[in-house]
Amino acid sequence: MDQLEKLILLKQKAACQGPPQDASEPAFKAHARKKQSLFRQMVLGIPYDPKHKFGKYGAFLMEPFASLGYNFCEVYRNEILNGIKERYGKLNMALHEGLMGNMLRSEHIPWNVFYPMKSDLQATSALLKEILKTDKIDKVTDIRIEWAPKKEDALDDNTSFDTYIEYIYNGKKCGVGIEVKYTEEGYPFGKLERKRVMEQEDSLYATKTRQCGLYTNEISNNRLSETSLCKNEYRQIWRNHLLGVTMVMNGQIDRFHSITLYPKGNTHFKKVLPEYEKLLSEYGKSTFGYITIEKLILLISKHFEMNEKNRLWVDYLNTRYPFI
């Protein structure tokens, strides 16, 4: 039996499998899992493996489909897979399982949503202008997925942008860092992170937070460990915002905006993002924003030429991600 026959038989098997249920999950995550499981079954036509450690949950791609890139939009799949190869080289097991196989995590979203924008940087520029409510973008020059400046030039840690869009204004480099969320919520401290945030008042986190001008006096004039920025709900938003403004402070770019992208159904971020915004100074507020996946898809359809390829891309995004 050749590879094609095997794929056909596996897809036939998928038609006989319903999505599994897991009553122990929070409501939104359970909803998202069912949606992704149905997408796997009804759109991709791929079965799940109840005996697999991840596959039993329905929103995980079996081999060979994971390695073939079935987690990515078909009309841009070749470009995305080439981009992944260029970005990572050889994937380790954890990255392979998270990016290539797991439909419920957010790792695939930047590749499906933002990487295709590289095909039309002029349209990306118009899109950004509307999102940021500014005309101060002359041209977009690059779109990078899972990128950060060198550690020694920033926060000396592993903080990175899910997507980083570089643009030019008045001849100077500027950047937009995009944090992408799907079913994720807050997250607990790592051991080293806890030490740097909660114990070391001379850490880069603490000194840059005091110096950057993003936060209200109540935040910047207190010990970092005593501020709301340390809470699980805000910490990743704060660190991504701080990473970008540190690039401004270091003279690497002239201006920076931090954007969080999330689905409308994720009530955690619907609540937390406006709360974080209240911790910001006027300057901080001018560099921060958030947008739902549902709204972004509408803006893509507005600013990108809806040729056959892009129409199929938008249809894919609109089928897979929204929760209206």
Amino acid at position 190, single letter: G
Q: How far is CA 260 from CA 25, 119, 223, 292, in A?
A: 24, 23, 26, 8
Burial level of 172, CB count in 10 A (0-12/13-18/19+)?
A: exposed
H-helix or E-strand spanning residue 71: none
State residue 19's pLDDT score: 55
Distance of CA 237 to the CA centre of its chain: 12
Nearest by Cα to 323 from 215, 183, 184: 183
Alpha-carbon distance of 40 to 58, in angstroms, equals: 8
pLDDT of 27 reads 81
pLDDT of residue 305: 97
Helix, strand, coil % (nearest 5) of the chain? 50, 15, 35
For the question of whether the overall pTM of this predicted structure is more than 0.75, the answer is: yes
* 251-279 pLDDT per residue, tens: 999 999 999 999 999 999 999 999 999 99
Predicted pLDDT of residue 13 = 55
- pLDDT at position 10, please? 54
| The one-letter amino acid at 174 | C
d(CA 314, CA 41): 20
pLDDT at site 151:
87
Per-residue pLDDT tens digits of the chain, which is 324 residues long: 556 555 545 554 554 455 555 557 778 888 898 899 989 998 999 988 888 887 777 899 989 999 999 999 999 999 999 999 999 998 888 889 899 999 999 999 999 999 999 999 999 999 999 999 999 999 999 999 999 999 888 888 889 999 999 999 999 999 999 999 999 888 777 777 777 777 778 888 889 999 999 999 999 999 988 999 989 999 999 999 999 999 999 999 999 999 999 999 999 999 999 999 999 999 999 999 999 999 999 999 999 999 999 999 999 999 999 875
- Predicted local confidence at residue 324, as pLDDT: 58
Kindly provide the residue ranges of all beta strands, DSSP E only, lying in the chain, ordered along the sequence: 139-147, 161-169, 172-180, 256-262, 288-292
The pLDDT assigned to 302 comes to 95
β-sheet with 139-147: strand ranges across = 139-147, 161-169, 172-180, 256-262, 288-292
Pairing of strands 172-180, 161-169: antiparallel
Residue located via tokens 């997408």 = 39
The alpha carbon dihedral of 229, 234, 239, 240 has a sign of negative
Which position has the token pair 């809806």? 306
Handedness of CA 117, 123, 125, 127 (dihedral sign): negative
Matching residue, tokens 């399982």: 97
| CA dist., res. 200 & res. 157, Å (int) | 15
